[in-house]
Amino acid sequence: MSAQHNIHVAQMNSNNIKHRLLGWIIDLSCGNIFLLCFIVILIFCAPTWIRSYTIRHSKMNLKRRARLINKFDLVERSALPSVQPSYGDLLKRLHDQKQQLEQFPRVLPPMQALSATQPAIS
């Protein structure tokens, strides 16, 4: 009777060990599947999350900067130069060059005289 009891206990221990091992395998498989799904979601959603975070962060910085400017009555520098360039000198030079170009054909001798004085190149 004692031998049968020992066999029965051994079978129960074996079944218990098998049951625990099967439980561990199922748990690890589910954990791996969960991690795999998490990594896939992270890969697909991370760029959107990063973009929205940077937009939110930059808006927050702009609001903080505007609050500080209003709080301390600071004047923001303009991106445009404060001194406007003067085009008077450039217009004068352009007018002078235009007059020179208008007088330029009068300075050159006529083309017929040039062709008569130069020898023909053969």
Q: What pLDDT is attached to residue 61?
A: 94
Residue 79 has a pLDDT of 63
- Cβ pair 29, 21 in contact under 8 A: no
Is residue 48 within a helix (H) or strand (E), and if so which, with residue range? helix 2-71
Quote the pLDDT of residue 38. Answer: 96
d(CA 59, CA 44): 25
Distance CA 62, CA 56 (A): 10
Question: Do the Cβ atoms of 69 and 76 come closer than 8 Å?
Answer: yes
C-alpha 94/C-alpha 102 separation (Å) is: 12
Q: Does residue 89 fall inside a structural domain?
A: no
- Pull the structure tokens for residue 54: 């940077």
pLDDT in tens, the chain (122 residues): 677 777 777 778 888 888 889 999 999 999 999 999 999 999 999 999 999 999 999 999 999 988 888 888 776 666 666 666 667 778 888 889 888 888 876 655 556 655 555 655 55
Stated as kind and residue range, the H or E segment containing 106 is: helix 88-107
User: What per-residue confidence (pLDDT) applies to 114?
Assistant: 54
**Residue 87: inside a domain, yes or no?**
no
Residue 64: predicted pLDDT: 93
Distance CA 63, CA 89 (A): 44
Domain, as residue range, for 20: 1-79
How many domains does the chain divide into? 1
Q: Indicate whether 61 belongs to any domain.
A: yes
Q: Which of these, 36, 37, 34, 38, lies nearest to 26 by C-alpha position?
A: 34
Phi-psi region of 87 (alpha: psi -120 to 50; beta: other; left: phi over 0): alpha
